[in-house]
Homo-oligomer: A and B are copies of this chain.
Amino acid sequence: MNYFIKQEKIRFQHIDYAGIVFYPRFLEMLNGLVEDWFEEALDRPFSKMHQTNGIPTVDLKVQFKKAARLGEILTKKLWVKELKSSSVICGFRFEDENGTTCLEGEVTLVNVKISEDRNSIKAEAFNEEMKQKISKFII
């Protein structure tokens, strides 16, 4: 019943000619939020998980509501909207220092197994331990 929360500062490499974040960079920040959630809250650091598994994004919906500029510190929030057998739908929201929403949306992640030859990928059910840990973020 809680949000997973991290902060990220807008850097020169994130912004475009208009001085605002180039939107694919926001999705790198979202990927970083999922990465931190797996490592810090779900005990599945990407450095171990990615040797045999993956957690690809299969669906993404984002509304970009307010531009973010160089030097701003955004608060990134993630929560769980629905936990299925081998996938999880997460909500997310990035807010500026006044609490105004810069972007929000939802992202569907699928738990996958990568074959030994690394050429095939297939969905795999979350185990009970993961389900319990993920469930703590259902809102």
Binding site for B on A (CB under 8 A): 11-13, 15-20, 22-25, 27-28, 31-32, 35, 39, 45-47, 50, 54, 56-65, 67, 69-71, 105, 114, 118-119, 121
Bound-state CA distance A46–B69 (Å) is 11
For the complex formed by this chain, how many copies does it contain in all? Answer: 4
Q: Can you show 23 pairs from A to B with CB atoms below 8 A apart? A: A12-B31, A12-B35, A15-B16, A16-B16, A17-B70, A18-B50, A18-B54, A18-B121, A20-B56, A23-B60, A24-B31, A39-B71, A45-B71, A46-B71, A47-B71, A56-B64, A58-B63, A59-B62, A59-B63, A60-B60, A60-B61, A61-B61, A67-B121
